[in-house]
Structure 1
């Protein structure tokens, strides 16, 4: 028996801004809003429990203390890495330096709150 990742939770100061950003990045839609201000986003017409994990944006007033120990990797589905990099930067991602050499096949980026994520070279099929 095994488990499957069904949801990723990300603490954030500006839940609305990150919900919009990550929805645009992943092609997700808002699934649910909670009374505490949290927002759950996920694949359209699938909701929770589908083949892709949902993303729960959890409100916090605490600033991020350091580099994340776990980060999200994304891959383009309908165009190459260069075009996807330009799209992500236009959405508000920024380049991040976490000590990479510059020879990597991926790009290290940060979302609008500074949470690192990587854009991989490989293209994948949409789910």
Structure 2
């Protein structure tokens, strides 16, 4: 028997702001608050325990110190990479300069709180709920 990832917990200053952003990016929905400080989002119709992990945004007053040791990679599901990049930028992502040479096939972006994530080139099938 093995474990599987059921949720990712992300510390942040404004859980609602990040939840709104990542719901737009991933097509997730708000699943609810746990207390006043933790907001969970996940796939519509599935929620916690489904085939995709949920994201929990926990309010933290600790300042972010440098690059996080973990980041998310996302792939477009219903458009090419260029169109998806434009959609993510319109949703509030920003391009990040981490010293890319221009040879990479992915784009490094940051969410509204400055957390890095990458938009990869390959188009993948949308996840089944």
Normalised TM-score (structure 1): 0.96
Structure 1 residue 100, shift from structure 2 partner: 2.2
5+ long unaligned stretches in structure 1? none
Q: Tell me the residue number matched to 2:19.
A: 19
Q: Distance in 2 between matches of 1:58 and 1:101?
A: 34
Q: Distance in 2 between matches of 1:22 and 1:47?
A: 15
Q: Tell me the residue number matched to 1:80.
A: 80
Structure 1's consecutive aligned runs of 4 or more residues displaced over 6 angstroms after TM superposition are none
Q: Tell me the residue number matched to 1:59.
A: 59
Report SS of the residue matched to 1:19.
Answer: helix
Q: Tell me the residue number matched to 2:43.
A: 43
Report SS of the residue matched to 1:22.
Answer: helix
Q: CA RMSD in A?
A: 0.8
Report SS of the residue matched to 2:109.
Answer: strand
5+ long unaligned stretches in structure 2? none
Q: What per-residue deviation string (whole Å, max 9, x for no partner) do you get for residues 11-61 of structure 1?
A: 000111101000000000011201132100000000111111100001001
**Between 103-112 and 91-100, the greater mean CA deviation after superposition:** 91-100
Structure 1 residue 3, shift from structure 2 partner: 1.5
Would you say how many aligned residue pairs link Structure 1 and Structure 2?
Answer: 127
Q: Distance in 1 between matches of 2:51 and 2:81?
A: 23
Normalised TM-score (structure 2): 0.95
Q: Tell me the residue number matched to 2:103.
A: 103
Q: Distance in 2 between matches of 1:25 and 1:5?
A: 20
Report SS of the residue matched to 2:85.
Answer: helix
Q: Distance in 2 between matches of 1:32 and 1:48?
A: 11
